[in-house]
Amino acid sequence: MILYEEPLRMELLGRNIYINGNPRSFSTRKLSDMKDVLMSFPKNELDPALYFMYRDIMKIDDIRYDITVIPPRIVGKEYVKTYGHYHTKSQSGKEYPELYQILSGGAIFIMQKRNNNESVEVVIVQAEKGDVILMLPDYGHVSINPLEEVLVMGNLVYDGFESQYGEYKKNNGAAYYYTNERMLVQNQNYIIKDMKKMKPSETLYKYGIVVSDLLKEFKENPEKFSFLKNPSF
């Protein structure tokens, strides 16, 4: 699968990504790594890798471009997903934002914001190939592959941030599960104050962001994405 020809040639073959003909290293999340965030843990299974992460495909001024590949799979009662995490806070007091683009397949993103009263506000975004999505400031996020094809996502993020997984581990996952019956089921460990759906474009327009191709525009004008390093929303 050819993902890009320019500004660099990017090809996905099996679980390997080749950049200008050279294979890139990757890390994985296995089934056993996900036991704390699943609606139900499947029994009597092997320990397959559920998704693959390729870091530092391109890095400019402490902002990096990564790739995540999530093959199709049902895990217990859910469509395969990422673990879920929040971001550390920037000097402005806001958590670092992140931009995603769907390069192949489709995704459902579950974003959630913590309130002082321990409730959460949830935003659901359904995205298809080509869509760019802002992971909203101060929101944690989970990515789900709800299709029967490989999901490939590119993302831009400040290289100095750290993923915080504790809330997801403590609460057995995100505020909602997306089940194999194609339903959102509430995680009863959460008090949900509000849940709304947004289009991918709405996440961008909310903060005045205009972008159509993350990798190309990042290469051509990295300063355009300086807000990822110094958010001032």
3-state secondary structure of 20: coil
Confirm if 33 and 47 have CB atoms less than 8 A apart: no
Residue 224 has pLDDT above 90, yes or no: yes
**Can you give the pLDDT at residue 19?**
96
Report the pLDDT averaged over residues 36-64: 93
Vertex 98, ends 212 and 13: CA angle to 5°? 70
Q: What is the rounded CA–CA span in Å between residue 22 and residue 26?
A: 13
Structure tokens given for 5: 């020809």
The token pair at 180 is: 């194999």
Please state the rounded mean pLDDT for residues 202-214.
95
Predicted pLDDT at 148: 97
b/e burial code for range 136-145 (CB count within 10 A of at least 16 → b): bbbbbbbbbb
pLDDT of residue 161: 87
pLDDT band at 118 (very low <50, low <70, confident <90, very high): confident
Whether the per-residue pLDDT at 44 is higher than 80: the answer is: no
DSSP annotation of 204 reads H
Q: Which CATH architecture has domain 29-228?
A: Sandwich (2.60)
Q: How many Cβ atoms are within 10 Å of 120's Cβ, its own excluded?
A: 23
Structural tokens at position 154: 């590119």
Q: What is d(CA 183, CA 87) in angstroms, rounded to the nearest whole number? A: 27
Give the pLDDT band (50/70/90) at residue 71: very high
- For the chain, the structural domain boundaries read 29-228
- Chain Cα centroid distance, residue 218: 18
Residue 45 has pLDDT above 80, yes or no: no
Check pLDDT > 80 for residue 133.
yes
- Which region holds residue 189: left if phi is over 0, alpha if psi is between -120 and 50, else beta? alpha
Instruction: Please report the pLDDT score of residue 92 as a whole number.
Output: 81
139-180 per-position pLDDT tens digit: 999 999 999 999 999 999 999 888 999 999 999 999 999 999
Contact 172, 189 (CB under 8 A): yes
Give the residues across from 87 on adjacent strands: 163
What are residue 98's phi and psi, to 5 degrees? -150, 145
